[in-house]
Amino acid sequence: MTEHYDWFLGIDWGYDAHQLCLVDAAGQVHDTRRVEHDPAAVDSAIAWVLTRTAAAPSQIAVAIEQPRGALVATLLQRSFPVYAINPKQLDRFRDRFSAAGAKDDARDAHVLGDSLRTDRRAFHRVPVADPVILQLRELAHAEADCQRDLTRLTNQLRDQIYRIAPPVLRLCPAADEPWFWTLLEQAPTLAEQQQLTRTQVLTVLRAHRIRRLTAADLLAALRAPAFAVAPGVHEATREAISLLIPRLRVADAQRKRCVVRQEALLTELRERPAEAEPKEHCDVEILESLPGVGRMVSVAMLTQATEPLATRDYDRLRAHLGTAPITKASGKQRLVQMRTACAARLRDAAYHWGRVSIQKDASAAAYYRRLRARGQTHGRALRSVVDRWLRILVAMLRHRTLYDPKRFVTS
């Protein structure tokens, strides 16, 4: 059932200040206001809205581009129904009010409020966030930040080693493993590396439980001929490496801490009692019962596709993950192409979900082979595999059952 609202509040969100526009059910602008991003100013603005409308918060629908943040959280806490919209869609709505392309904060606030009044189906309602999901989302962002820092720092470390001793990189081409950092801490320059003994390198390998390499492999790479470099290069490299490795260890430790905390929060969600009957499975258990779904995929789905999962909306799920293709047809021309307007984290999660599932599940592997036989690329076939998993997931969520591979046995 569609809710009825008497008032519509358009908010053009800003970093320092927000522009508000109050519109009634007939589309008439009643008032506008600029509000600083300050708790007292926001409270004053909310009081102004309630006084100006003489209506309950539940009868004042709020339209905003930003679906999260302190302002949105405050509005939700005050029981205002909040609706968000994609900025690209808002740009199209703006053309209704100015074909010439005029744009300013007051106009955007008006466009938001009036568009919510006339085209609510283009907006999606912002739900009250689960505290655990909020923590998971922040940890996922923090993990991604740490991973970017690690990649940046390891690239810098690799460049320093490449300057003086390229053969050493054969041991760890990406320079991204802790045992390799320990080795460089003990011997950052070429001369020190060539003086390492078998006992020293063996101690490093054993301490980090590295079995794919032997002490002989390390010594051969460390003592291989190197380029002659200008005076001072070795000393400069030593200084750079001594500064990079502590930063690498901090970033790596923080990334691992994020992973541990995510696992703990997922466990908390698994152990949470079901809303209906205690015997029913929770959404996390159902999601994780699917082949190919691990921590990374679970966290991405729970934090980036929260609302479609909660509403069991298959169409929105496949759009969010990028598995729904885009069709462009006009006259005799018809083009079907990959969807790029989707959540990047979910798209990455979908790729890994599909890749792992065809290794773990016979029915998914058989479906993948059939798609490849039709001439589809690897990526296109994986998107179809994940699209199939989404159909199965939505059915499982609706019936609150775990995945049963026997139902999809291939002959």
Q: What is the mean pLDDT of residues 225-249?
A: 90
Q: Tell whether the model's pLDDT for residue 279 goes beyond 70.
A: no
Query: What gap in Å lies between CA 312 and CA 293, rounded to an integer?
Result: 18
Q: Tell whether the model's pLDDT for residue 411 goes beyond 50.
A: no
Do 63 and 179 belong to one domain?
A: no
Inter-axis angle of helices 39-53 and 70-77, to 10 degrees? 40
Q: Is residue 288 in some structural domain?
A: yes
Grade residue 405 by pLDDT with cuts at 50, 70 and 90.
confident
> Can you give the pTM of this predicted structure?
0.83
Q: Is residue 156 in some structural domain?
A: yes
Q: Is residue 304 in some structural domain?
A: yes
Do 382 and 311 belong to one domain?
A: yes
Do 205 and 291 belong to one domain?
A: no
Query: What gap in Å lies between CA 239 and CA 99, rounded to an integer?
Result: 59
Q: Tell whether the model's pLDDT for residue 387 goes beyond 60.
A: yes
Do 150 and 249 belong to one domain?
A: yes
Number of other CB atoms surrounding residue 299 within 10 Å = 24
Do 237 and 142 belong to one domain?
A: yes
Domain limits at 52? 7-125
CATH number for the domain harbouring residue 108: 3.30.420.10
Number of other CB atoms surrounding residue 40 within 10 Å = 8
Q: Is residue 314 in some structural domain?
A: yes
Q: Give how many domains the chain has, as a whole number.
A: 3
Residues 135-170 pLDDT 10s: 999 999 999 999 999 999 999 999 999 988 888 999
Cβ–Cβ under 8 Å, residues 55 and 6: yes
Q: Is residue 54 in some structural domain?
A: yes
| Model pLDDT, residue 1 | 46
Query: What gap in Å lies between CA 68 and CA 72, rounded to an integer?
Result: 6
Do 110 and 153 belong to one domain?
A: no
Q: What is the mean pLDDT of residues 319-324?
A: 92
